[in-house]
């Protein structure tokens, strides 16, 4: 068969190919390693120079036109396939969206966002620390040396001794207070931080879960007094509970990491047997509820953080985030917080669009 006839047949077959698979089969048949046109190319080697000079351009032109035809046919088939797909996949935007499962913001996340918003307004940054801590940060640096009785009160989850690092035993942090030490060491003074996060204790009943949440507060500066502490807590609690009549009572207490230490109670009223925060706890039908621990940062803690306690003073506080959530949003069983029951989450969760802001009120709308 002469080259012109070969070309005619090849081009006709390419034009008739219905799909990409058929086209690929033709490419292999003509131009593949064992292909007919590739075979013609191989005959050039055996020709005399004169013959080759005459035949080579013809064979090359044949190969080129077949190759071009294959490419053009492939483009056309692909274009047609895309057109067909686009025509098939039209979406009617006027149809109602299908009912998709909707998530909610967990009350703990909501409260943490509210805390960050309130404290940011007072100049506090949010700090974090590891949940897997060492006993130096969790205890020793907080003035709880080995054998200190307060260590025993924490029902600590320890890791096996083989996992000790640099002579320090590893544990799940029992409170957020070690972030105080990490903040001082990492950033020096002055400091204004809150540190919200998970903490762990081996304890479990209706009001205790092995994992729960705390928020730590720490201010380190010059000339800091208990007055600053009380104002800060009052301002925070009024903004958080969205009530101007929040009344605090400071009671002397003991924490190893603060000196003096104060336990902070907040006044509530008994309304139909329910506790409603607000008013002095000393008024008739009122009482005091213990809410948080705080105090002036112990000199030894400031020194453990690498700062000079003659130069820097500060206050600290720690409060349960889950407890704050229960008091504001009315849940009464802590364990349900961590069950992951979607019915509970749908009921107590918050809209992702309801971002707490001071201007709109930090509390979520029902
Ligand atoms: N770390 C304490 C606890 O978990 C709470 C606490 C009390 C934190 C007093 C403080 C503080 O910063 O000053 O029980």
Q: Using CA atoms, how far apart are residues 195 and 218, in angstroms rounded to an integer? A: 8
Closest-CA residue, ligand 1 atom 7, reads 293
Q: Is the CB of 294 under 6 A from ligand 1?
A: yes
* Helix residue spans in the chain (DSSP H): 3-16, 20-31, 36-43, 49-88, 107-121, 135-138, 149-152, 178-187, 226-241, 299-304, 321-329, 342-348
Beta strands 132-134 and 170-172 are antiparallel
For residues 119-137, one letter each, b for 16 or more C-beta atoms within 10 angstroms of the residue's C-beta and e for the rest, the string is beeeebeebebeeebbbbb
> Residue 365 has what pLDDT?
60
Q: Is the CB of 175 under 6 A from ligand 1?
A: yes
CA of 42 to the centre of ligand 1 (A): 87
Q: Which residue from 175, 263, 265, 315 has its CB within 8 A of the most atoms of ligand 1, so it is best to mutate? A: 175
**Which atom belonging to ligand 1 lies closest to the Cα atom of 199?**
4
* pLDDT tens, residue by residue, 62-75: 999 999 999 999 99
pLDDT in tens, the chain (366 residues): 588 888 899 999 999 999 999 999 999 999 989 989 988 888 888 888 898 898 888 999 999 999 999 999 999 999 998 999 998 988 888 888 777 777 899 999 999 999 999 999 999 999 999 999 999 999 999 999 988 887 887 899 999 999 888 889 999 999 999 999 999 999 999 999 999 999 999 988 878 899 999 999 999 999 999 999 999 999 999 999 999 999 999 999 999 999 999 999 999 999 988 889 999 999 999 999 999 999 999 999 999 999 999 999 999 999 999 999 999 998 888 899 999 999 999 999 998 877 788 777 777 665
Find, among 111, 156, 160, 164, the residue nearest to 325 by Cα.
Answer: 111
* pLDDT tens, residue by residue, 300-325: 999 999 999 999 999 999 999 999 99
Sequence-ordered list of residues with C-beta below 8 angstroms from that of 56, at least 6 positions apart, any chain: 44
Domain edges within the chain: 3-88, 107-348
Q: Is the CB of 212 under 6 A from ligand 1?
A: no
Say whether the peptide bond before residue 348 is cis (omega within 30 degrees of 0): no
CA of 153 to the centre of ligand 1 (A): 13
Secondary structure (H, E, C), 175-209: CCCHHHHHHHHHHCCCEEEEEEEEEECCCCECCEC
CA of 291 to the centre of ligand 1 (A): 11
CA of 176 to the centre of ligand 1 (A): 8
Closest-CA residue, ligand 1 atom 8, reads 318
CATH number assigned to the domain covering 107-348: 3.30.930.10
- Neighbouring-strand partners of residue 289: 266
Backbone φ and ψ for 66, nearest 5 degrees, come out as -65, -45
> Residue 1 has what pLDDT?
58
Q: Is the CB of 200 under 6 A from ligand 1?
A: no
> Residue 337 has what pLDDT?
94
**Which atom belonging to ligand 1 lies closest to the Cα atom of 174?**
4
Q: Is the CB of 177 under 6 A from ligand 1?
A: yes
Q: What is the pTM of this model?
A: 0.73
Q: Is the CB of 305 under 6 A from ligand 1?
A: no
CB of 169 closer than 8 Å to CB of 159: yes
**The dihedral formed by the CA atoms of 211, 191, 116 and 359, expressed in degrees to the nearest 10:** 160
Q: Which residue from 176, 177, 219 has its CB within 8 A of the most atoms of ligand 1, so it is best to mutate? A: 177
Closest-CA residue, ligand 1 atom 3, reads 175
* pLDDT tens, residue by residue, 102-119: 789 999 999 999 999 999
């Amino acid at each position: 068969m002469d080259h012109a006839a070969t070309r005619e047949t090849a081009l006709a077959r390419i034009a008739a190919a219905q799909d990409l698979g058929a086209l690929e089969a033709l490419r292999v048949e003509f131009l593949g390693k064992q292909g007919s046109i590739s075979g013609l190319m191989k005959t050039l080697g055996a020709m005399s120079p004169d013959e080759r000079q005459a035949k080579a351009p013809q064979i090359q032109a044949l190969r080129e036109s077949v190759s071009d035809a294959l490419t053009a046919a492939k483009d056309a088939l692909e274009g047609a396939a895309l057109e067909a797909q686009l025509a098939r996949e039209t979406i009617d935007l006027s149809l109602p969206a299908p009912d998709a499962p909707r998530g909610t913001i967990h009350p703990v996340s909501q409260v943490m966002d509210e805390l960050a918003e309130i404290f940011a307004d007072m100049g506090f940054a949010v700090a974090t620390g590891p949940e897997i801590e060492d006993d130096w940060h969790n205890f020793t640096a907080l003035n709880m040396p080995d054998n200190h009785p307060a260590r025993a009160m924490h029902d600590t989850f320890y890791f096996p001794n083989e996992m000790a690092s640099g002579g320090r035993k590893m544990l799940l942090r029992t409170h957020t207070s070690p972030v105080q030490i990490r903040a001082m060491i990492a950033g020096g003074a002055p400091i204004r931080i809150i540190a919200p996060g998970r903490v762990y204790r081996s304890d479990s009943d209706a009001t205790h879960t092995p994992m729960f949440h705390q928020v730590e507060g720490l201010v380190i500066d010059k000339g800091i007094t208990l007055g600053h502490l009380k104002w800060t807590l009052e301002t925070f609690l009024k903004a958080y509970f969205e009530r101007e009549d929040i009344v605090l009572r400071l009671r002397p207490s003991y924490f190893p990491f603060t000196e003096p230490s104060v336990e902070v109670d907040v006044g509530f009223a008994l309304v139909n047997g329910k506790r409603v925060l607000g008013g002095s706890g000393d008024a008739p039908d009122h009482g005091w509820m213990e809410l948080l621990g705080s105090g002036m940062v112990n000199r030894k803690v400031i020194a453990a953080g690498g700062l000079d306690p003659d130069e820097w003073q500060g206050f600290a506080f720690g409060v349960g985030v889950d407890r704050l959530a229960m008091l504001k949003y009315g849940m009464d069983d802590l364990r349900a917080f961590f069950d992951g029951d979607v019915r509970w989450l749908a009921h107590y969760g918050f809209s992702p669009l309801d971002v707490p802001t001071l201007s709109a009120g930090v509390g979520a709308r029902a």
